[in-house]
Each structure stands twice: as C-alpha cells, then as structure tokens.
Amino acid sequence: MLGWLKMDVDQYIIVYSNLAAAVFSEKLGRILVNIKGKVKPQFNSVKLKSVIKKVLAQSSGSKIDLLNDKTKRRCRT
C-alpha cells in the first residue's frame, strides 16, 4: 500500500488497522485441518477481497486500474 497506492505511513497504519479488524475479527472455524488432512481456511477470503476493493476505490477515486497503470517500478512487491 505504501508503494503502489502512494500512501504515507500514518495513512497506511490507519487503513491497515481497519483492514485487519474487518478481515481477522471473525474466524471461520476452530479446527485447522479437515478429516483428509487438508488445511482449512481460517478467515473469509470474500471479506478480504471486498475490503481491498474498498481501499483501492477510496485511494484511487475514479481510476479503476491503479495496479496496472503500465508504470515501470523498481520493486515488484
């Protein structure tokens, strides 16, 4: 968020705190592994996706393709 969305540190802390509270406040289950030994998701990915879309919409305004603006960047993370 700091690099791609060009946020300052204070703004990033506020946005990330809200994101973490929205996404990680409710667990999907207590059991980490199903009967076949596969790891089960612990948090709702749909909620994460919606919160990220909300952050992108707030920071970019009307620009939808903020993350794909064809600008060369030094860091790919």
pLDDT tens string, the chain, 77 residues long: the values are 666 677 788 888 988 898 888 888 877 767 778 788 888 777 788 888 888 888 888 776 544 555 566 667 666 65
In a domain, 56, yes or no: no
* Amino acid 62: pLDDT: 47
* Cβ atoms of 29 and 39 closer than 8 Å: no
For 27, the domain range is: 1-44
Distance, CA of 77 to CA of 46 (rounded, Å): 22
The token pair that represents 65 in the structure block: 């393709």
The token pair that represents 36 in the structure block: 């076949």
Phi and psi, residue 39, nearest 5°: -75, 130
In a domain, 30, yes or no: yes
In a domain, 50, yes or no: no
* pTM of the predicted protein model: 0.58
